[in-house]
Chain A
Amino acid sequence: MAGLGDCEFLVRRARELVQEDTCAARAWLITARTLYPQDFNIQYEMYSIERNAERTASAGRLLYDMFVNFPDQPVVWREIGVITAALRNDSQDKQTQFLRGLFEALPGRIQCDMLLKATEQCFNTLERAEMLLLLLRRFPETVVQHGVSLGETLLEAENIEDQESPVNCFRKLFVCDVLPLIINNLDVRLPASLLYKYLNKAAEFYINYVTRSPQTDNQHQGVQETSDLLSPTKRNSQKYIIEGLTEKSSQIVDPWERLFKILSVIGMRCEWQMDKGTRTLNDVFHRVKDLCRYITNFENEAHAKYKNQVVYSTTLVFFKNVFHYISSIQPSLFQGPNTTNQVPIILLEDISNIYTEVEQTPGKHIHKRRKLAESREKTMSSDDEDVSGKGRNRHVVVNKNDLANPNEVLECFKIARECWDLLHSTEALEKEFSRICLPWKTDTWLWLRIFLTDMVIYQGQHKKAIASLHHLAALQGSRSPNQQIIAQGALEQQRAVIQLASCHFALGEYRLTCEKVLDLMNYIVPPVQESARIQEDPSKIKPKFRKGSDLKLLPCTSKSVMPYCLQLMLASLKLRAFADNRDDMALGHVIVLLQHDWPKGENLFLKAISKICQQGNFQYENFFNYITNIDMLEEFAYLRTQEGGKVHLELIPNQGVLLKTSSNTMGLLQQEFIPVLQASIATNDRHHTVTRGITKGVKEDFRLAMERQVSRCTENLMVVLHRFCINEKIILLQCLT
């Protein structure tokens, strides 16, 4: 056809001219188009020139013409594909911005048609959804037709593509982008059941989004960001990316706020009892509590709407407060700012009163004291009692240095507990709540488990707490252990063990307490300085509270945990040590432990001394290994004197029967102290072999040992006590059998 030849000629002339004289090329094409208005190549050539020159208006105009006149040209589709991709893109580069401007230059109707047609051509669900979203956002009238079907497509896609986590690209688009369009468009009529389904999906998404663990994003971050990890400020601005989405699209600002908005819009559409001016999630909870006051029978079908209101509102308030509580006490669980450098905090029974308690009890009435102690054991644990009555208002001691906003944290803890109680106050509510939780697999949520454990600990239900703690430990173990140990200190992973020790103690299970404590010691690095000063603060603050019913939030550091552990051991052993049955080993251990926080335990020490005096003799072959307290050493030196009562002390290992054990101990000691005590130990050893069994030498040995011990007074006591716990684990546990 000659016409084709003409068109080719015209386009070729234009192409030849483009570089040296664009204006001439454009003039050729204008002419060509008036000659052959139906020729696609001419128009495409015109468009290419305008596009390459980034002349938005004229390029838009030409694109419009091509779109209208040549709807079947693949080149046009490719171009529309490129433009719609630019619309979905966050990129700010010039080309992308031009393409966006080009699209904006088109008339609305054409934008709408273009997006719809581009959507039809798109077979990737995600891209298709993003394209439709562009349409729905720009043209709200299209929401009625496409909104719900898009939402359903996304929810289906999530299932088809077998997404493990609810935080996936499909759900994100549904919850954050599509759902608000649907529910805020009053022309879209939806049945309540669908609205509740959507609310459920939204809640599951947002809760999982805010509580996503930092590991997941390491996978997505890739290697290039690792250098940034060093700087804490950079870490804050680190971007989380949901697979399949762009960085911008993955960022969700104020997730709770958004969830709350969805809740209130859906609540409105489901005709809940709502205040117009509800501002916060906590306001919602107050409304729900009011509602519960006059509706008691949620089984009634007529009240189904209110049951949903109560359950959904309370559930969301519950999870939000649990989240805030956990993000304060165990921030490293979640992705977010300041997580790496914050130490977790653990809720424990406060036992800082162990010294004072004994001090009040006269030494003679050991029987009575023991009974008191037993009764106390009972009161400390309230597993069998009515939960609602007990443990309602227990005081939780927090050191200001450990937590920036203790009142807020405790308030969240309190509201979360109230929500839990409300959700379990009737069978109907409980059923509904577990119906929500089951598909969410909330029982695998470590953070929720931590809260539930803390809740029962707070309520003093220590048996339940122990069960919960085993559950927690299992959950923790199932998370990839390597990463955790690398990510944080080893001790921080021992939350469950520390709480177990505390709970066993509260139940009077002293051997289990000590077992846990001695396990913990493997993870503890003895602090360089003694922490007596820190220990002092809380005991000053809370004198008016009931003994044994206080709790404390303790930072999970060696510096804080080790003293707590020592106190637990002391408290566990002292009953045995001061029992009627003579137990020198236990008494010796107690004396070793009393060195900590000296002279707080001075009264208890004096009680021990008087017990030794009564006995007339005392055998504790670890004495010189672990007792470095000068006051104690003086006291024991005095006991041997005439004035002291000439007590027979067997404190050197080879003096007694436990020869084997003690020489082992000696061996260990030797190894560790060679740099310091090399000379004296060497003499000692030689001396022992020569003088074994000869009583004459014993006196001399004791004097030498005492002298050497005095020189050890400046040793770090925590190091000594830590070694005590590690080395004497077996005999420590033996005493509690």
Chain B
Amino acid sequence: MSDIRHSLLRRDTLSAAKEVLYHLDIYFSSQLQNAPVPLVEKGPIELLEEFIFQVPKDRGSHTKRFSAMQELQLLEILCNYFQEQNKEAVRQVIFSSLFSPQGNKADDQRMALLGKLTSMSVAVCRVPVLECAASWLQRTPAVYCVRLAKALVDDYCGLVPGSVQTLKQIISVSPRFCCQFITAVAALYDMSSEELLPPHNLLEMIVSWIFDDPMLILITFLNTPITANVPLGFLDFSPLMGLVRWCVTAPLAYRRKQKAAGGQLPVESQGLYSKLHLSMLQGLMVLQTHLTEKNLYGRLGLFHFDQLVPLVEELGQLCDELNPLNAEQEMELALDRLAQALQVSMATGALLCARDDLRTLCARLPHNNLMQLVISGPVQPQPAHPSLTPGYYPHIHTPPLGYPSLPAHPALPAHTPIPAHPAVPAIPAIPGHPVQTFMPGMAFPFRPMR
């Protein structure tokens, strides 16, 4: 490493940046031939920090800075590098070495350059960069992800009117990136204040993506190893929870904004939330099909019961806050949506919990007929039709919404049958337990998507 460093020091900044990429590419490529997961040592990261992020290594050396022109050239070098390296593993390692936050002073530069690189890749449609960014969003603490999302939203939803169309088209080349981007955006705009309502054009874009293809919200989830657990402070595997929060709190959050501004409720946005809410439910229905096909129904949830707690609390606060404002309609709508989301999540296996848990959870919310119905569960119907798998609606010839159907995993061992009725989960004991404990030692690395 030090040899490389010495040779690089003699070069000018740009060619040194190019050279360091070249050397690390060779270095990681050879590492990847020996081990499936290369060990990212400190050396290469330091090299990158010194020659790409221009962090001075020695106390004595002077601080160099790229000019704006040089920075643009550097971005082009990076873009081209990722475009031309056709080994995905190498790309991922390099991207990770470049942009994984190290908790040092280079992180700001890292994030700034990542924002610009991603934004540029959206503009010139560099799919490999977007795919790397999607993985990065999965591996990186949410605080950083939100920063990347903010950078993109600033570039495409605020700066130039109409530029959102460029971002919108990315859906056709990298749905994986879009899925992660939505998750990050949902984390960024959490509706907790007026400023944190999503911009209208961003909302519109996201709704159009998901409405056209509700499966979009499941892409990351379905491509993630089953055993993986979401570490605290990272983004969810699916934007679902964040978007459900949007839909549920939107009627009240916008009402609050209207109260503050004294203006009209933006009807357009409300229509979009209705669409989004429907798409969420449809996405959940698709999830059920996949879970059932893989015999995971009732064993693997999409989100955790605990994640509901802050949402319900927030909703309760909003209701309290707006109650004196005659916001019954908005409250009713919000509660209806929550009840629908809870019911469909339970029925489709996305949420593994008992109805009794809901009763406790929602105890402090205002009364709502549907919520009542969902908490108490359906009146036990007449004996089920023998030929019908309750709650499971098999595919017609094509998999729903244009996605290739997932092959059933051949290594999947036989399991106990699917619960007889989704409304009465057969595993009442699991709520609160980590889902993964039900899949001990499963050789089930990936659910391939495309």
- Pairwise interchain contact A38-B382, C-beta atoms closer than 8 A: yes
- Pairwise interchain contact A37-B390, C-beta atoms closer than 8 A: yes
Contact residue among A6, A9, A21, A68 (Cβ-Cβ distance under 8 Å from B271): A21
Q: What are the 7 A-B residue pairs with the smallest beta carbon separation, nearest first? A: A3-B379, A34-B347, A23-B278, A31-B340, A23-B274, A35-B378, A107-B397
Cβ contacts under 8 Å, A69 to chain B: 385, 388
User: Closest CB-CB distance, B339 to chain A, in whole Å?
Assistant: 7
Cβ contacts under 8 Å, A60 to chain B: 396
A61 beta carbon closer than 8 Å to chain B: yes
Contacting B at CB under 8 A, from A8-35, are: 9, 13, 21, 23-24, 26-28, 30-31, 34-35
* Complex A-B: 27 CB contacts under 8 Å: A3-B378, A3-B380, A3-B381, A6-B378, A21-B271, A23-B274, A23-B275, A23-B278, A24-B274, A30-B278, A30-B285, A31-B339, A31-B340, A35-B343, A35-B347, A35-B377, A35-B378, A36-B378, A37-B390, A38-B382, A38-B384, A65-B393, A69-B385, A69-B388, A105-B396, A107-B396, A107-B397
B282 beta carbon closer than 8 Å to chain A: yes
- Pairwise interchain contact A2-B379, C-beta atoms closer than 8 A: yes
User: Closest CB-CB distance, B89 to chain A, in whole Å?
Assistant: 38
A1 beta carbon closer than 8 Å to chain B: yes
Contact residue among A35, A65, A107, A108 (Cβ-Cβ distance under 8 Å from B373): A35
**Minimum CB distance partner of A13 in chain B:** B370
Chain B CB within 10 Å, residue with most, of A28, A38, A108:
A38
A64 beta carbon closer than 8 Å to chain B: yes
Cβ contacts under 8 Å, A27 to chain B: 274, 277-278, 281, 337, 340
A343 beta carbon closer than 8 Å to chain B: no
User: Closest CB-CB distance, A138 to chain B, in whole Å?
Assistant: 14
Cβ contacts under 8 Å, A61 to chain B: 393, 396, 400
A472 beta carbon closer than 8 Å to chain B: no
Q: A208 CA to B72 CA in the complex, in Å?
A: 84
Q: Bits for A39-60, please: 1 = Cβ < 8 Å to B, else 0.
A: 1000000000000000000001
- Pairwise interchain contact B285-A9, C-beta atoms closer than 8 A: no
Q: A346 CA to B23 CA in the complex, in Å?
A: 101
B residues adjacent to A (C-beta < 8 A): 271, 274-275, 277-278, 281-282, 285, 336-337, 339-340, 343-344, 346-348, 369-370, 373-374, 377-382, 384-385, 387-388, 390-391, 393, 396-397, 400, 422-423
Cβ contacts under 8 Å, B370 to chain A: 13, 31
Cβ contacts under 8 Å, B378 to chain A: 3, 6, 35-36
Cβ contacts under 8 Å, B339 to chain A: 31
User: Closest CB-CB distance, B334 to chain A, in whole Å?
Assistant: 12
**Minimum CB distance partner of A62 in chain B:** B393
Given contacts A31-B281, A31-B370, contact A38 B379 (CB under 8 A): no
Q: A61 CA to B337 CA in the complex, in Å?
A: 25
Chain B CB within 10 Å, residue with most, of A1, A24, A69:
A24
Cβ contacts under 8 Å, B271 to chain A: 21, 23
Q: A21 CA to B271 CA in the complex, in Å?
A: 8
Contact residue among B340, B374, B384, B387 (Cβ-Cβ distance under 8 Å from A28): B340
- Pairwise interchain contact A37-B340, C-beta atoms closer than 8 A: no
Q: A28 CA to B397 CA in the complex, in Å?
A: 26
- Given A35-B343, A37-B390, 8 more A-B residue pairs with CB atoms under 8 Å apart are A28-B336, A30-B285, A35-B423, A38-B382, A38-B388, A64-B396, A69-B388, A105-B396
A106 beta carbon closer than 8 Å to chain B: yes
Cβ contacts under 8 Å, A23 to chain B: 271, 274-275, 277-278
Contact residue among A3, A24, A30, A106 (Cβ-Cβ distance under 8 Å from B396): A106
User: Closest CB-CB distance, B381 to chain A, in whole Å?
Assistant: 5
User: Closest CB-CB distance, B367 to chain A, in whole Å?
Assistant: 15
Q: A34 CA to B275 CA in the complex, in Å?
A: 19
Q: A33 CA to B100 CA in the complex, in Å?
A: 45
Q: A6 CA to B369 CA in the complex, in Å?
A: 10
Q: A347 CA to B258 CA in the complex, in Å?
A: 97
Q: A9 CA to B378 CA in the complex, in Å?
A: 12
Given contacts A21-B271, A23-B275, A24-B278, contact A34 B396 (CB under 8 A): no
**Chain A residues touching B, majority SS:** helix
Q: A122 CA to B36 CA in the complex, in Å?
A: 66
Q: A307 CA to B339 CA in the complex, in Å?
A: 82
User: Closest CB-CB distance, A321 to chain B, in whole Å?
Assistant: 51
- Pairwise interchain contact A34-B382, C-beta atoms closer than 8 A: no
User: Closest CB-CB distance, A154 to chain B, in whole Å?
Assistant: 33
Cβ contacts under 8 Å, B391 to chain A: 34, 37
- Pairwise interchain contact B423-A34, C-beta atoms closer than 8 A: yes
Cβ contacts under 8 Å, B374 to chain A: 31, 35
Contacting B at CB under 8 A, from A50-97, are: 60-61, 64-65, 68-69
- Pairwise interchain contact A34-B373, C-beta atoms closer than 8 A: no
Q: A366 CA to B391 CA in the complex, in Å?
A: 113
Cβ contacts under 8 Å, A105 to chain B: 396
Q: Bits for A513-556, please: 1 = Cβ < 8 Å to B, else 0.
A: 00000000000000000000000000000000000000000000
Chain B CB within 10 Å, residue with most, of A2, A31, A61, A64:
A31
Q: A1 CA to B382 CA in the complex, in Å?
A: 11
Q: A69 CA to B370 CA in the complex, in Å?
A: 26
Cβ contacts under 8 Å, B422 to chain A: 34
Contact residue among B344, B381, B385 (Cβ-Cβ distance under 8 Å from A31): B344
- Pairwise interchain contact A6-B274, C-beta atoms closer than 8 A: no
Chain B CB within 10 Å, residue with most, of A1, A30, A69:
A30
Cβ contacts under 8 Å, B346 to chain A: 34
Contact residue among B285, B373, B387 (Cβ-Cβ distance under 8 Å from A6): B373
Chain A CB within 10 Å, residue with most, of B339, B373, B391:
B373
**Minimum CB distance partner of A6 in chain B:** B373
- Pairwise interchain contact B274-A21, C-beta atoms closer than 8 A: yes
Q: A105 CA to B396 CA in the complex, in Å?
A: 9
Q: A37 CA to B397 CA in the complex, in Å?
A: 22
User: Closest CB-CB distance, A70 to chain B, in whole Å?
Assistant: 9
**Minimum CB distance partner of A4 in chain B:** B379
Cβ contacts under 8 Å, A68 to chain B: 387-388
Given contacts A24-B274, A64-B396, contact A38 B385 (CB under 8 A): yes
User: Closest CB-CB distance, A83 to chain B, in whole Å?
Assistant: 15
Chain B CB within 10 Å, residue with most, of A3, A13, A26, A34:
A34
